Chains A and B, each alone.
Chain A
Amino acid sequence: METPKPDLRVDKDGFLADYHEWNEQAAQLLAEREGLGPLTKDMLDILIFLRSYYEKYKFFPIIRAVCKNVHKPKDCLTEEFIDPVKAWKIAGLPNPGEEVEIFRDWNPLGF
């Protein structure tokens, strides 16, 4: 794991400015900014899956696909992070802008 960067660079909405600057320590800092306590291993597994999915598909996975892939019950993402957009943010993924509203409403599980 890389040494954590002391100055976490985020944009105006709190998304990591550079997707590549993410590591576990950065995730912990991002989680604190979102009012979440220390990240557990289960939460980190979800974040790592979100990042690997994004790298390949440039999109948010079907919510329950996340849970199936990390071998957790199908509501795992919303149970761990409440808001899927928070999970996306803590995973250091780029600011989706207004499209985030689409995720919100096309995903009734979280809201």
Chain B
Amino acid sequence: MAKEMKPNEIIQSINYTPPAKPWMELPVEIKPGMFCWGAKAKSLNILGLPNARDWNPSHEDWKLPENWKDTVLEGMADRLKKYRSFKLFMDICVRCGACADKCHFFLGSGDPKNMPVLRAELMRSVYRRYFTTPGKLLGKLGGARDLDINVLKEWWYYFFQCTECRRCSVFCPYGIDTAEITIMGREMLNLLGLNIEWIAGPASACYMKGNHLGLEPHTIKSNVEFMLDDIETVTGIKIDPPFNKKGADILFVTPSGDLFADPGTYTCMGYLMLFHELGLNYTWSTYASEGGNFGFFTSNETAKRLNYKIYAEAKRLGVKWILGGECGHMWRVLNQYMDTWNGPADFLEVPRSPITGTVFENAKGTKMVHIAEFTADLIRHGKLKLDPSRNDDLVVTYHDSCNTARGMGILEEPRYIIRNICNNFYEMPEDTIREKTFCCGSGSGLNAGEDMDLRMKGGLARANAVRYVQQRYGVNMLANICAIDRAALTTSMNYWCPGVGVTGVHEMVANALVMKGEKPRETNLRGEPLPAKGGEGNV
């Protein structure tokens, strides 16, 4: 693997001048630092996916079955029949180019095949050749090309250089969802065992043990107990959260990253403290112990299988509804797919906050509420005693996670919470937030170590906007509601914006939360001294 690029090397390498040759004549070059290792036989076997074998994308031979071309074309035909959206998105693009400069990977790399229009064209050209009359008759003149091994490798390289963030779709006058094209591309690649290990590994761990990290029930409990110990140190309050409790009102599901890695563990401590303070009749589950879904980056079928356990556990425990933690892609799956994949969840009730009485009509179908909605509602009804000055050492900006912002329209709730728990909040420029938010650059399973150049190039657009508020307002903390963001942005901020930390919103909630019977707080959840009262700690 090549040496990772330095920030100035990336900046200097960006060249937006298109190559002189037409794109079809430029063969794909699999560049180190820009791709992830191939899925291992072990992981694919666990998931029961085809062509399980160990392979190396940088080798010439990808160990494909002899009839691979038929497999892809049959897979494409099946999906064109099954998904009307896919057929539509193959047909209607007029190549206007409105999406071209909206992709963080194009902005950070200058590679024209990272323009969403051209990335989709890699597949459309094959679609035309085999599924449209003009393409069959006119070939290249009709924008069509044969599917050969180089085209397949090009698909693999570029469909794993898209984070399915859908920023391009916001600008498409036809509303083409490029993420769905990438999803279909990855589905077809998976028919040949062409996944990446950073997706297949966690997906197989989730299939076996219920979560991406492969944490067993007693390990989950041990990690939570460690956090409880830290909470007691900070607040003097001993919390005893319920696990797998039958008859609880609410099942709580969050991404497993929050149970293991900083700064997600602090967010997790935030959930524990909030629920304790409310006296919520809820439960954790060591079976439905993953909110995220790396199956979604593999195939719809795999995603559906991994998602199944959430409703199954809700049914087994007899809860009324489900509350979900801070995560990004988890919510695209829950909000847009779960109900039809594994529902209807008619054994659950329309979610109603036991604290405020608010009925979450928006979650009538899925019966699952995002914690940002839940907490914003609590604050709105004056149910939380908050001391925002405890967060006075922070100058905060907010990164909208792609999937919660564009996938389910959660735009105001986190901002409402942040404004109530801290005194220094500044927005990034308008074109980089809300539905136009820039991706962290590492989503959709690309958060590996070996593709660091790709991630840092893809993270540049987001980091550039953070840098702007860092320089202008002294921002030192990037808040978000996504577990992948918490991991990916930490790396990206260290690289592009040193001095900016990363936090989940509920970590800040817990720091501001004045709990009944707590001792005077001396530190925040990270064990750092609280800012001095009276302005000394203010920035």
> Which residues of A approach B to under 8 Å, CB–CB?
56-59, 61-65, 68, 74, 97-99, 101-102, 104-109, 111
Contacts and interface: CB of A to CB of B under 8 A. Distances in A.
Interface residues on B, range: 35 or more
B201 A109 contact: no
A101 B198 contact: yes
Contacts of B201: 98-99, 102
Contact of A108 (B214, B215, B226, B491): B491
Contact of B491 (A59, A61, A74, A105): A105
Given A59-B214, A62-B226, 16 more contacts: A57-B216, A57-B218, A62-B261, A62-B262, A63-B261, A63-B262, A65-B226, A97-B40, A99-B201, A102-B198, A102-B212, A102-B213, A104-B449, A105-B447, A106-B261, A108-B262
B40 A64 contact: no
A37 B102 CA distance: 50
B223 interface: yes
A87 to B, nearest CB: 16
B287 interface: no
Contacts of B205: 99
A64 B223 CA distance: 11
B197 A74 contact: no
B218 A102 contact: no
B307 interface: no
20 contacts: A56-B218, A57-B222, A59-B216, A62-B226, A62-B227, A64-B262, A74-B527, A97-B40, A98-B37, A98-B40, A98-B197, A98-B201, A105-B449, A105-B487, A105-B488, A106-B213, A106-B264, A107-B262, A108-B261, A108-B494
A65 to B, nearest CB: 5
A20 B488 CA distance: 36
A108 B527 contact: no
A58 B208 CA distance: 15
Interface in B433-451: 447-450
Q: Which 10 A-B pairs have the closest CB atoms?
A: A106-B261, A108-B490, A57-B219, A65-B226, A101-B449, A98-B197, A59-B219, A104-B449, A107-B261, A98-B201
Interface of B: 37, 40, 197-198, 201-202, 205, 212-216, 218-219, 222-223, 226-227, 229-230, 257, 260-265, 447-450, 487-488, 490-491, 494, 502, 527
Contacts of A64: 262
A71 B448 CA distance: 32
Nearest to A73: B527
A58 B264 CA distance: 21
Nearest to B489: A108
Contacts of B490: 108
A61 B261 CA distance: 9
Contacts of A102: 198, 201-202, 212-213
Contacts of A58: 216, 219
Contacts of B527: 74
Contacts of B494: 108
A68 B229 contact: yes
A72 B471 CA distance: 35
**Which of B214, B230, B260 counts the most A-chain CB atoms under 10 A from its CB?**
B260
B226 A106 contact: no
A64 B527 CA distance: 11
Nearest to A63: B262
Contacts of A105: 447-449, 487-488, 491
Choose among A57, A65, A98, A111 the residue with the greatest number of B CB atoms under 10 Å from its CB. Answer: A98
A59 B527 CA distance: 25
B215 A62 contact: no
A103 to B, nearest CB: 8
A74 B523 CA distance: 14
Given A57-B218, A102-B202, A111 B491 contact: yes
Contacts of A108: 261-263, 487, 490-491, 494, 502
B222 A109 contact: no
Given A58-B219, A65-B226, A108-B487, A101 B450 contact: yes
A40 B148 CA distance: 58
B214 A99 contact: yes
Contacts of A98: 37, 40, 197-198, 201
